[in-house]
Amino acid sequence: MKNRLLIPIIFVFIFSSCSDFSGNEDEVEASLKPGPVTKQKKEQEGSDPTRTYYDLNGITFGNNTFVAVGDKGAVLTSSDNGSSWDNGTSGTTKELNEIAYGNSTFVSVGQSGTHLYSRDDGTSWSTGTWSETGHITGVAFGKNTFIGVSSTFLTKSTDNGSIWEQECSGMRVYDVAFGNSKFVGSGAEGAIGIYDNDSETTCSLGSSNTTTHTLYGITFGNNQFFSVGSSGKLIISSDNGSNFTNVTTPVTKSLYSIVFGNNIFVAVGSRTVVVSNNDGSSVTGGNTVTFKDVTFGNGVFVAVGYKIIYTSTDGVTWTQVYGE
């Protein structure tokens, strides 16, 4: 994911309320094995020498629309399952790191405390009320709430991105996902943080069983949280983030993002893609393209990276639809 991946960050959890796949080569793996990518940009894009392409950091899906964000406030939207892309107007030149969708609203977060929201499918954006200037690196939606994550605390909005407040001072995570009424975040040195706004103890810690890996991305699917990170790290939790177990990894390169769709998990990273069945028991890796983020919608996986967007229907074969 994102340029910020290249900057080493040390995450530490401090709460006021707490102290601190080699797999068998069976038929399933063979069917999931990622294949080659295909460059197949739309003719009008490839023939337009005046078009500016942007480094893209985050992508999500909502209301039959894919929206990607990135460098210099770039916003791109697609309403035809990723086949073509139009420019939105974010109103900022700040780096946008991640994006989420909920309650008919897209919310994007980024550099210097940026919190933006769009209620017209990413075409135009407004600025949320927030005064701190720390970088916001991830965002997720659940239970009528948007949660952003940073190296200092969580940010929270219950009015669809207009006003933000601070939560869980000292919770330092890198990415966040929502499932089973809980937000679960992952970070450096194996950090796992859990935010549950229905609990008397709102902030708590989970166990990743690693202190040597940075966990760059996390998602929820098939009633499990699945996190990915440095050196191909894969971990999965079936108890809402309290405890994670290792999944044998087929790669050694960093994985930046993961998503669940079509009963498989698809993780992307540095010149690699990993595809897993829905319980993490069969996993294979491949690919040669670096992606920073991946999402799923309308039966299509869409991944973004440095001036590129690719699509796939199975996480195996990828086709370029945007880029130089």
- Paired strand residues for 86: 77
Q: Say whether pLDDT at 198 is over 90.
A: no
- Predicted pLDDT of residue 7: 41
First-to-last alpha carbon distance for the chain, in angstroms, is 19
- Predicted pLDDT of residue 10: 37
CATH of the domain at 195: 2.130.10.10
Average pLDDT over residues 61-73: 98
Confidence at 324, pLDDT banded by 50, 70, 90: confident
Mean pLDDT for all residues in the chain: 87
- Predicted pLDDT of residue 39: 53
The helix (H) or strand (E) run that includes residue 32 is: helix 27-32
Asked whether the beta carbons of 227 and 186 are under 8 A apart, the reply is yes
Average pLDDT over residues 28-55: 56
- Predicted pLDDT of residue 38: 57
Asked whether the beta carbons of 28 and 277 are under 8 A apart, the reply is yes
Q: Is 299 exposed, middle or buried (0-12, 13-18, 19+ CB in 10 A)?
A: exposed
CA dihedral for 277, 279, 285, 291, sign (positive or negative): positive
- Predicted pLDDT of residue 32: 41
Summarised one tens digit per residue, pLDDT across range 146-155 is: 999 998 899 9
Domain span at 91: 3-323
- Predicted pLDDT of residue 260: 98
The helix (H) or strand (E) run that includes residue 319 is: strand 318-323
Instruction: Identify how many contiguous H helices and E strands the chain contains and give both numbers.
Output: 2, 29
Highest mean pLDDT among 9-13, 131-135, 268-272: 268-272
pTM of the model: 0.87
Per the structure, the count of domains in the chain is 1
Q: Say whether pLDDT at 50 is over 80.
A: no
User: What whole-number percentage of the chain has pLDDT above 90?
Assistant: 77
Distance CA 226, CA 255 (A): 12
Q: Is 200 exposed, middle or buried (0-12, 13-18, 19+ CB in 10 A)?
A: exposed
